[in-house]
A = this chain, B = another copy of it.
Amino acid sequence: MVYPRGVSRPSSPRDALVADLLAAMPRFQEATDAVDEAAARALGINRTDLRCLGLLDHGPSSPSALAEQLQLSRGAMTTVLDRLEAAGWARRGPDPDDRRALRIELTDAARTRIGALWGPIAMEGAGLLDEHGDAELRAMLRFLRDATALQLRHAKRIADEPLP
């Protein structure tokens, strides 16, 4: 992300607070990225494969559905699943309702490993939220949702822009 400068110089305490917040957000994203990078290394897989595991952690799926969610072609999806299956993190099984399709699911080993990696983070993260009152959490939620909508709207604006 490109962070425009000079939108508001921190001339007041309020502006300084806003500036700190704007600086803290990319740091947070980098920290999230660092966890993912470390986890991918620990599992011996690449980031795309890790994102696939993240989706499968919500429940079994099909190669087509996974490819769409990961923004991958079906050909690329096949190789992702080849790698995950060879490493023992995912399993291809028959779809009970459609004999053309497959049912992809995590192995027990993957579930155990994922729990060991992210479980402690989730536990401590819940502790951090406990330090805040309901009103503060609601404020965070409102801002997050508003900012999400804002960015999606502008992503569409940029995507619809004619290329120069």
Interface size counted on chain A using CB atoms at 8 A: 76
Counting every copy of the chain, the complex holds: 2
B residues less than 8 Å from A131 (CB atoms): 146
B residues less than 8 Å from A132 (CB atoms): 139, 143
Majority-rule SS of A interface residues: helix
Q: Which residue of B lies closest to A145 (CB)?
A: B24
Q: Are A158 and B17 in contact (CB under 8 A)?
A: no
A86 within 8 A of B: no
Q: Are A7 and B158 in contact (CB under 8 A)?
A: no
User: Binary interface profile of A, 116-153, with partner B (CB < 8 Å = 1, else 0)?
Assistant: 01111111111011011011111111011111111110
Tell me which of A37-45, A72-80, A94-102 binds B: A37-45
A93 within 8 A of B: no
Q: Are B2 and A141 in contact (CB under 8 A)?
A: no
Known contacts A28-B147, A141-B24, A148-B27: A35-B117 contact under CB 8 Å: no
B residues less than 8 Å from A14 (CB atoms): 134
Q: Other than the known A2-B117, A21-B144, what 5 A-B pairs have Cβ atoms closer than 8 Å?
A: A5-B57, A8-B126, A28-B151, A31-B152, A38-B155
